[in-house]
């Protein structure tokens, strides 16, 4: 799995919707912020790349 694919998969699993029709984005933004703050996004990517930080 490529690094960006790991990040996108983690975002989708966390409830961040992908591109599509117009919608209220606040839930997606909140889910993305939570994903980053929790460290889960970094962890998902590091499973592919090895340690980044």
Task: Read off the pLDDT band of 13 (50, 70, 90).
Answer: very high
HSE toward the beta carbon, residue 34, CA cutoff 13 A: 12
Q: Are 1 and 48 in contact (CB under 8 A)?
A: yes
- Asked if pLDDT for residue 42 goes beyond 70, the answer is yes
Q: SS3 for 27?
A: helix
Report the predicted TM-score, pTM, of the whole model to 2 decimal places: 0.84
Q: Are 12 and 18 in contact (CB under 8 A)?
A: yes
Average pLDDT over residues 1-20: 92
Give the single-character DSSP code of 15. T
For the chain, the maximum distance between any two Cα atoms, rounded to a whole number of angstroms, is 36
């Amino acid at each position: 799995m490529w690094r960006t694919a790991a990040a996108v998969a983690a975002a989708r699993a966390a409830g961040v919707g992908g591109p599509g029709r117009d919608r209220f984005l606040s839930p997606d933004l909140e889910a993305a912020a939570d994903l980053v703050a929790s460290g889960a996004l970094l962890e998902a990517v590091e499973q592919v790349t090895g340690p980044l930080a």
